[in-house]
Each structure stands twice: as C-alpha cells, then as structure tokens.
Amino acid sequence: MSSVSVVKRAFRYRFYPTPAQEVELLRTFGCVRLVYNRALEARTAAWYGERRRVNYVQTSALLTEWKKTDGLGFLNEVSSVPLQQSLRHLQSAFAAFWEKRSRYPRFKSRKRGRASAEYTRSAFRWRDGRLTLAKMDGPLDVVWSRPLPEGAEPSTVTVSRDPAGRWHVSILVETTVAHAPPVDRVVGVDAGITSLLTLSTGEKITNPGHERRDRERLARGQRALARKEKGSANRVKARLRVARVHARIADRRRDLLHKLTTRLVRENQLVVIEDLAVRNMLRNRSLARAISDAGWSELRSMLEYKCDWYGRDLVVVDRWFPSSKTCSHCGHLLDLLPLRVREWTCPGCGVSHDRDVNAARNILAAGRAVAACGAGVRPTRR
C-alpha cells in the first residue's frame, strides 16, 4: 500500500459576483490596501526615525485606533478579518526581508498587480458546497471546474481580481495526496531558451515562446493605450485589453509548465535541476525578455511541491557547477565555451557533444552524487 502525504492545497476557481457583491469586494480591496500601506508607512517611519521595530501586535493596535478616527471610520463597514490578514502578510514580508529572502516591502498600488482579500474560517460560511463571505447576503456564483477533495473543509478563502477583470476564489484545504508508485528512472534537466527543457535522455522540449506569439497583438494594444488620454474611460478600456493579452500569455505558460512538471514527477524517481540565478540573469538586456517568458522560477517551484506531494526526490545542483563545459564522457573541463557554441568536440576523448544534452547528463551525474553521498556539488577547480 502506497504512503500518503498530508498537504495544504489550494483550489482556484472563477466566479461571477453580483453587482452588490462586486461593490462590497471592491470596497474590501480598497480597505485592505489602505491598511497595508498605512502599516508599512508606520513601520518604516519608526525604523528610520527612531530605529525601532514595529511588530504585528503593534500594527493591530494601530488599526484599532484608525477605526476610531472620523476620517477612517469606513474601515468598520467591511469585514475585519481581511484587514487583520493584510497586517499578517506585511509581517511575513518583513520577516522575509530580514532573512534576506526578498527585498524591502513595497506599497500596494491600485493600478499595479491583482487586488485580493483573505478570509479565515470565522469570516465565511461553507455549507452544502456553497461559499458565503462575511458582509454578504448570498453565496458566490462559483464555477466548479473541478471538485474539492471529498470531505474537505476550507480553512482559508482568498478572493482576487486580476488586471484583466477576472474574479477568482482560492480555497485552501487540508487533504491527502497518495505517493506515486516507485520507478527506477532518473532524469537531469537543463533549462534553456531555444529548448525550454533538455533532458539527460537526449529529449528536447521546444520553447513555444508564448509571449513571442502574442507580441504583435501586445504591441498594438500598448500603442493604443499610450494614445489615450490619462483619466479617460477609453484609457481604462485600452488598459483592460492589454491586461487580457498578458493574462492569456500567463495562462498558457502556466498550463504548459504544469503539464511538463507533472510528467517529469510521474515518470522519474529522481529529478535533478540546476540552481539558476534568474534575478541576476534578467539583467542581461539581450536575454531578459526570453528568460522571463520561459518561467524558470515557476518551473522550479512546481517541481519542488509536486516532488514533495508524490514522494519523489528533487536535487538542486550548485549554480556554479560547470555542466556545459565538462565532458560527460571523460570529465575534461574546457577553459571557455561561448554561449553561441551549441556543439563541441572534447579534446580529451574526441566525443562530440550537444551543449544542452551534455549539460543535462552532467547535472544528472552531479545529482546522483548528492543523492548518494548527501554532499553538495561544488565547481570543479584545476
């Protein structure tokens, strides 16, 4: 009998709010954004003015005081839970900053990114498969594109509206995922641009270039947006058209990455990838657009949680490991291998290599060493 993993899993669905629900949600989004920005401003001023750190408990007390003022009395008209959750999110953002995992928290913008509000168990009602949020008189009209796990009870509900105007609800539940049957296959994965993925088996998965396919449509929409007068209704419509193109690109990219990662995890017991410094690579102005379109960071995060769910092993090889310049047949290390060189012949053993396939095989060999010995893979030095 296969073992199982107990995981927290989010299921996202489209929904279509009534006019009254839309007004209530938009008001909640605005209050969440206001509370987040005011708390960030207070924490920043306390640090730079007094060298004093303000924690979540103190910002929660500030929120109570804000609600008592005449200018912010409208904060009492929305559910208090999303406001408190925004303060918790700010605390998490500062924790990540202090641990040097992210940059300093930024203020939320009404025009940038998606608007969202998070409801915990006390702020929504789940009954007979119908979801009703606090301050609303009726359930949401959710399109149940796939069923929730049987007997699952939502613990957190996040409502969001993306720049394209689409409404989504993300339902977090605790459920079990059965581990996949053990297999004896292993694979090394080299991420690229021309070939999205190159496997150690020699298979190359072509990069469909989602952004490149819609680049002309995106350019037309952006030119039309630039011609519209700021603050006009036509500018709002033009911005919405551009956002829909971006949403179409992102949806196709995410769909492909889900299919690829699920296939890799199902077919292989061990998956080995390279630790890529995507943020640093994006500084290359010639390749930044193609690197962003490939979605390498999203690919890695999907592999991480899917391997954890299905009982597979994921090994990440050091980013400085010279996988492309090392001969996978004899181990000879080249001094230099320009990016334009896609095939090369080893001067040590005479074997001809495809650059990407050779890199994937070296990544697999390094990952096997890590899995067997538990040690990290460091760059080969002369």
What single-letter DSSP state applies at residue 149?
P
Tell me, yes or no, whether 198 and 167 share the same domain. no
Confidence of residue 291 (pLDDT cuts 50, 70, 90): confident
- Strand, helix or coil at 265? helix
Tell me, yes or no, whether 273 and 319 share the same domain. yes
Confidence of residue 376 (pLDDT cuts 50, 70, 90): low
- 274 as an active site residue: the answer is yes
Give the domain extent around 33: 4-178
**Does 130 have pLDDT greater than 60?**
yes
User: Minimal CA–CA distance to 310: which of 223, 143, 128, 183?
Assistant: 183
Helices and strands (DSSP H and E) totals, the chain = 10, 13
Tell me, yes or no, whether 136 and 191 share the same domain. no
278 domain-assigned = yes
User: Minimal CA–CA distance to 221: which of 164, 167, 166, 288?
Assistant: 164
Residue tagged active-site, from 118, 190, 211, 293: 190
- 141 as an active site residue: the answer is no
Confidence of residue 277 (pLDDT cuts 50, 70, 90): confident
200 domain-assigned = yes
Domain boundary residue, one of 178, 195, 226: 178
Tell me, yes or no, whether 194 and 95 share the same domain. no
Tokens read off for 309: 């769910």
Could you give the dihedral angle defined by the CA atoms of residues 193, 195, 196 and 201, in that order, rounded to the nearest 10 degrees? -140
Residue tagged active-site, from 24, 118, 211, 274: 274
CATH code, domain carrying 305: 3.30.420
74 domain-assigned = yes
Tell me, yes or no, whether 30 and 167 share the same domain. yes
**Does 283 have pLDDT greater than 90?**
no
In this prediction the pTM is 0.87
265 domain-assigned = yes
Tell me, yes or no, whether 90 and 156 share the same domain. yes
List, for residues 292-349, the tens digit of each pLDDT value: 888 999 999 999 999 999 999 999 998 888 989 999 989 899 988 888 888 999 998 8
Tell me, yes or no, whether 105 and 156 share the same domain. yes
Report yes or no: 161 and 29 within 8 Å, Cβ to Cβ: yes
Residue tagged active-site, from 24, 118, 293, 356: 356
pLDDT score recorded for residue 12: 96
Structural domains of the chain, count? 2
How many whole angstroms separate alpha carbon 270 and alpha carbon 262? 13
Tell me, yes or no, whether 167 and 71 share the same domain. yes
Tell me, yes or no, whether 127 and 191 share the same domain. no
List, for residues 133-182, the tens digit of each pLDDT value: 999 989 999 999 999 998 889 999 999 999 999 999 999 999 999 999 99
266 domain-assigned = yes
- Strand, helix or coil at 211? helix
Integer-rounded Cα radius of gyration of the chain: 25
pLDDT score recorded for residue 1: 45
Section 251-267 average pLDDT: 95
Beta-bridge partners for 197: 191, 205
Tell me, yes or no, whether 159 and 303 share the same domain. no
